[in-house]
Amino acid sequence: MTKTIQFTTKVNRGTIVIPQEYTEEIQDNLEIEVIIKPKKTRLMYKLLANR
């Protein structure tokens, strides 16, 4: 059975930062799937509204 872990994090110099509380669940040589979904900012909402 596959366990799904979801968290919000940042990218630092091209590296995805994994929060400390999840590092034990992610093992070396484990194949994972990463989906990047940027958070919407207020500026984005303003730009879209002004179209």
**pLDDT score of 13:** 93
Residue 6 in domain:
no
Residue 33 in domain:
yes
**pLDDT score of 3:** 80
Residue 2 in domain:
no
Measured CA to CA, the distance from residue 51 to residue 46 in angstroms comes to: 9
Domain that holds residue 32: 11-49
Are the C-beta atoms of 30 and 22 separated by less than 8 Å?
no
Residue 34 in domain:
yes
pLDDT tens column, 10-40: 889 999 999 999 888 888 888 888 888 877 7
Residue closest to 32 by CA, chosen among 47, 46, 18, 13: 18
**pLDDT score of 36:** 86
Residue 42 in domain:
yes
Residue 4 in domain:
no
Q: Could you give the number of structural domains in the chain?
A: 1
What is the tally of helices (H) and strands (E) in the chain? Answer: 1, 2
Residue 22 in domain:
yes
Amino acid identity, position 48 = L
Are the C-beta atoms of 7 and 22 separated by less than 8 Å?
yes
